[in-house]
Amino acid sequence: MPKMKTKAAAKKRFSFTASGKVKAGPAGKRHGMIKRSTKFIRDVTGTMILCEADAKIVKKYMPYNR
């Protein structure tokens, strides 16, 4: 059987915790910071854990990173 491919977009944006949860940066912080308010930029710093429904989709994209 051929190997499954990891989605390149997913591997750039998501990572996994040791317990298997999916870590992601908040939405809206990739580009266009000049038009965003300072308060918005401050609020979306750091990372967050995705909910189970979203994590299920990401795990499908990254079959070998569990």
Digit-coded pLDDT (tens) for 7-31: 999 999 999 999 999 999 999 998 9
Helices (H), the chain: 8-13, 38-43, 52-61
Assign 1 a pLDDT band (cuts: 50, 70, 90). confident
pLDDT of residue 65: 87
Please answer whether residues 58 and 9 qualify as being in contact, where contact means their C-beta atoms are separated by less than 8 angstroms: no
Residue 66 has pLDDT above 80, yes or no: no
Give the pLDDT confidence of 48-65 residue by residue, as tens digits: 999 999 999 999 999 998
Residue 41 has pLDDT above 80, yes or no: yes
